[in-house]
Amino acid sequence: MMTVRALQASDRGAFIEVMAAAFRWDPLIVATIGERPEALRAFLSFMFDMTMLVRGRRLGVFEGERLAGCVLVEPPEGRGLLDGMRMVGAAILFLPVALKLPRTSTALFNRYLNVTRAAAPREPHAYLTMVGVDPRHQGKGFGRVLIEAAAGAAVEMGAAGVALDTENPVNVPLYAKLGFIQTARLELGPFTSFCMYRSIR
């Protein structure tokens, strides 16, 4: 039985396990974190906490009691990352990750974040910062369920659309089937970011 619900603090370990498996070969993760399991765990823990800091949503899809996939939804700007106090909090949260990575990796993360967010449409939109399904559960429709749940959350946040980026070109046609259009292709050295958008008006 497939169910979707908000992830709680008690789901942190399962979230890290699922997303570590889902993103193990992701070009962004490979380029910035590489073979550093502790750094990857720290990064995923940061993302889990950061979503709550910006008043976003952490959603998980379950098969029975087992977490199969997750999506992190950041609210429209003004209530999210651009709020000054939350930016300070984000920097503090990211410190344990930065200490585990070379400066070049942190710089690449910052560049990636700046250019992908700048490529998003100007209308108020939610941002899917991470979408992942455990490889053992892929091909069962869990990703579609997560995207639709995220779109519903975006509507509740007052968003006119949902933006995301993927560094895996295989994902582009999959998102296109779910109503996303490609808005930009950004070359970032070791990887390419494909920025995509879906209107939900």
Question: Residue 81 — pLDDT band, cuts 50, 70, 90?
Answer: very low
**How far is it, in rounded angstroms, from Cα 116 to Cα 153?**
21
Q: Which of 18, 25, 46, 6 lies closest to 169, judged by CA?
A: 25
From first CA to last CA, the distance across the chain in angstroms is: 31
Share of the chain above pLDDT 70, in %: 94
pTM for this entry: 0.92
CA-atom Rg of the chain in angstroms: 16
pLDDT digits (tens, 9 = 90+) for 83-137: 555 666 777 788 888 888 999 999 999 999 999 999 999 999 999 999 999 999 9
**How far is it, in rounded angstroms, from Cα 122 to Cα 68?**
33
Instruction: For each of the domains in the chain, give its residue range(s) and CATH number, in order of start.
Output: 2-199 (3.40.630.30)
